């Protein structure tokens, strides 16, 4: 009887050891469509202004020792005036948007997906 009792105790102990090694832990399956978004914008504004003014005056007279009306030499006068004005305004705007999505299924515990690249 003692022998049977000892055999049953060893069998129960062996069963307990084997049963502990063969256990399972189930986690819920997760799924979804992770999305990668990239938005960018570029804005440029440029303004320039220029102003230039040029004024020239020339007076040429020939000297004369004779002071009579019929013998006098002419006097040449020249006036030049130039004004330049320049204005320029430039505006540039660019917008870019990229979106990438993929299906993702996880059987084990993975709270953050690897974006499909690892």
* Mean pLDDT of the region 9-15: 87
18 is a domain residue: yes
Domain of 85, in residue numbers: 2-59+77-106
Query: For residue 93, is it within any domain?
Result: yes
Structural domains counted in the chain: 1
**109 pLDDT above the threshold of 70:** no
Q: Could you give phi then psi for residue 86, rounded to 5 degrees? A: -135, 135
pTM over cut 0.85: no
**27 is a domain residue:** yes
Residue 24 lies in a domain: yes
Q: Does residue 45 form part of some domain?
A: yes
Specify if 94 maps to a domain: yes
Q: Say if 37 falls within a structural domain.
A: yes
Give the pLDDT confidence of 35-92 residue by residue, as tens digits: 888 999 999 999 999 999 999 999 887 776 666 556 567 788 899 999 999 999 999 9
pLDDT tens track for 71-82:
567 788 899 999
């Amino acid at each position: 009887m003692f022998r049977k009792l000892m055999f049953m105790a060893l069998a129960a102990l062996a069963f307990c050891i084997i049963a502990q090694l063969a256990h399972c832990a189930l986690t819920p399956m997760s799924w979804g469509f992770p999305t990668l978004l990239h938005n960018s914008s570029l804005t440029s504004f440029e303004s320039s202004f220029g102003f230039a003014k040029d004024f020239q005056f020339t007076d040429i007279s020939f000297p004369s020792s004779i002071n009579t009306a019929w013998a006098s030499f002419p006097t040449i006068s020249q006036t030049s005036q130039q004004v330049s004005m320049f204005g320029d305004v430039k505006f540039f705007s660019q917008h870019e948007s990229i979106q990438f999505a993929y299906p993702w299924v996880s059987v084990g515990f993975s709270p953050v997906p690897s974006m499909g690249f690892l």
